[in-house]
Chain A
Amino acid sequence: MGLALLAIIWLITFVSTYFFAAKTWWLPHGASTSAQWIDHQFAITYLLMGVVFVAAQGALGLFVWQYRDQGKAAKADYSHGNIKLEVIWTTLTAALFIGLNLMGSPIWAAERFEPAQAGSVPVEVTGMQFAWYFRYAGPDGKFGATAPKLMDPSAGSEAAIGLDTSDPASKDDVVTGTMYLPVNRQVDLTLRAVDVIHSFFIPSMRFKQDAVPGLAIHMHFTPVEVGDYEIACAELCGLGHYKMHGMLKVVSQEDFDKWLAAREAEKQ
């Protein structure tokens, strides 16, 4: 029985660790500036936790076999513990956990404590049951007003976000269902939600942020590779949650300008 228990614990440990180490299913390819830092912190965490995992499960399996009752007369070791050992492993654990946390904090600070840089592309993202809309401010650099009572999802993108066409700043606003971004330039996102909480999740950009009704949340990231990246909703928002998806297309600055100009032209 001891051997069977050791075998199953060690087998489970081995198989789990194998698939982590082999990266059979892994984080998608990272395509933003933060991806390398986040992935680096991830790697350190999983290495350290992996060592602890193997050591703890290994010891558990070993002990239940090694110290199994073999019918001999000797009693077990009568000990109530060892304070010195307790202090040592408590301190080490605290150092490990807190150290890991502090290592990751500068990345968090860079992502979240600071606002977007000057020269970033302003894009407003609006989530609603069950679609994402993206608004570009146009040449005037200003987002026009929107009004809740003008919202009509059945009448096109501009009506879906309730664009107030009487506001002059709205004239050049472009609203699309696909997100275009120029490569190597930071985007200054404003996240909004119209009805319930949604979450704007782009796995390849290592970006996630809840879009909350009643709030306009500012976030930023910088894509570094041209390509198409899927956007998923990552907060339960109703029966269409699983199909509330979008697409981010990262293109060269030229292509981005051409695309935006074409959208502006369509509005005339």
Chain B
Amino acid sequence: MATLTPTISVKDPKLGHGGSGVHPPVSDGGDDGRGDNGSPDYGQRLRRARLGLLVIMVPITMLFVSFTSAYVFRQGLPTLDEHGTYVRDWLQVNLPVTLLLVNTLLLLVSSITVELARRQITLQVALAPVQSIPGVSIGSERNFPWLGSTVVLGFAFLAGQWMAWRQLADRGFYIATSASSSFVYLLTAAHAVHLAGGLMVLLYAGATSLLHKPVEARRIVVDVAAWYWHFMALLWIYIFALLEFMR
């Protein structure tokens, strides 16, 4: 097999096995998240993580689009009853609106706190090189625990959703009572599960600060979790609006 002579001289890379074929030319800067001097390229990693989040938001959206189309389809569907006549058996659910509004408020406030946490750590990353200069202080070291607040609010929201389910049950709407009540539990539970996942990530982000991981790495986790959290808030508003206005 003919070998093409490279027109540039290449420093022979250390390969583990026979390198008798054509060697790839050298390039500057790898694409493995590392920069010129071998240290991790956090900017690139952040972009990649955000791209990953954007991608994962698609199937989550599809899940709820699918539930929504099932909801709309079912709402308008006539079915044969025991006498053989077509009836529409959609029952309007008596939602505990006040409680749900409180929960919505909690979630919106948590969106604000997580956004502040995201900006807080972004600032920390920007100032990290400065802070490593001996004798330099950037002022008040007491940072408000925005991340912790978000976690607390997140748990409060989940507790509030649990209370809402109990209220629904007290009003006689269980999961199998009617198609409409089934969808109420389905949509709110599916959202709660996804929110809980986000909550776990936030807890992890908080934990890693205790484990003294580099702030740039932690920033990526908080950044992505924060955007995810906003997505969860928007999703909740959508679900609430669907259940309340398309009863």
Residues of A within 8 A of B (CB): 145-149, 192, 214-216
Q: Nearest Cβ in chain A — how far from B40, in angstroms?
A: 41
Asked if A214 and B84 make an inter-chain contact with CB atoms under 8 angstroms apart, the answer reads no
> Interface on B for A, CB 8 Å cutoff?
79-80, 82-84, 86
Q: Is the CB of B79 within 8 A of A148?
A: no
Partner of B82, one of A148, A192, A215, A216: A148
A163 to chain B, nearest CB (A): 11
Shortest Cβ gap from B203 to chain A (Å): 46
> What secondary structure prevails in chain A residues at the interface with B?
loop
Chain B hits for A146, CB < 8 A:
84
Closest residue of chain B to A213, judged by CB? B80
Determine which of B79, B84, B86 lies in contact with A145 in the assembled complex, contact meaning CB atoms within 8 Å. B84
A-B contact pairs, 15 of them (CB 8 A): A145-B83, A145-B84, A146-B84, A147-B82, A147-B83, A148-B82, A149-B82, A192-B80, A214-B79, A214-B80, A215-B79, A215-B80, A216-B80, A216-B84, A216-B86
Which A residue's beta carbon lies closest to that of B80?
A214
Tell which of B80, B82, B84, B86 has the most Cβ of chain A within 10 Å.
Answer: B84
Q: How far is the CA of A148 from the CA of B80 in the complex (A)?
A: 11
- Which 8 pairs across A and B sit closest by C-beta, in order of nearness? A214-B79, A148-B82, A214-B80, A147-B82, A146-B84, A145-B83, A216-B80, A145-B84
CB contacts (< 8 Å) of B79 on chain A: these are 214-215
How many angstroms from the CA of A6 to the CA of B218 in the assembled complex? 62
Chain A nearest CB: distance from B180 CB in Å?
Answer: 17
Task: Using CB atoms, name the residue of chain A closest to B79.
Answer: A214
Which residues from B are CB-within-8-Å of A148?
Answer: 82
Sample of 12 more A-B contacts, CB < 8 Å, known A149-B82, A192-B80, A214-B79: A145-B83, A145-B84, A146-B84, A147-B82, A147-B83, A148-B82, A214-B80, A215-B79, A215-B80, A216-B80, A216-B84, A216-B86
How many Å lie between the Cα of A185 and that of B189 in the bound state? 55
Bound complex: CA A216 to CA B79 (Å): 9
**A123 CB to nearest chain B CB (Å):** 16
Q: How far is the CA of A146 from the CA of B81 in the complex (A)?
A: 10
CA A163 to CA B65, docked complex, whole Å: 42
Chain B residue with the shortest CB-CB distance to A150: B82
Contacts of B86 in A (CB 8 A): 216
In the bound complex, CA of A214 to CA of B80 (Å)? 5
Write the nearest CB–CB distance from A4 to chain B, whole angstroms.
28
A147: B residues at CB distance < 8 A:
82-83
Q: In the complex, which residues of chain B have a beta carbon less than 8 angstroms from the beta carbon of A214?
A: 79-80
Give Cα A148 to B84, complex, Å: 9
For A216, the chain B residues whose CB sits under 8 A away are 80, 84, 86
Q: How far is the CA of A214 from the CA of B84 in the complex (A)?
A: 9
Distance of B76 from chain A, by nearest CB (Å): 14
User: Smallest Cβ distance from A28 to chain B, in angstroms?
Assistant: 33
Which chain A residues border B83 with CB–CB below 8 Å?
145, 147
Most buried by A among B79, B83, B86: B83
In the complex, chain A residues whose CB is within 8 Å of the CB of B80: 192, 214-216
Residue of B nearest to A214 (CB): B79
Nearest-neighbour CB distance to chain B for A158, whole angstroms, equals 15
Q: Which residue of B lies closest to A149 (CB)?
A: B82
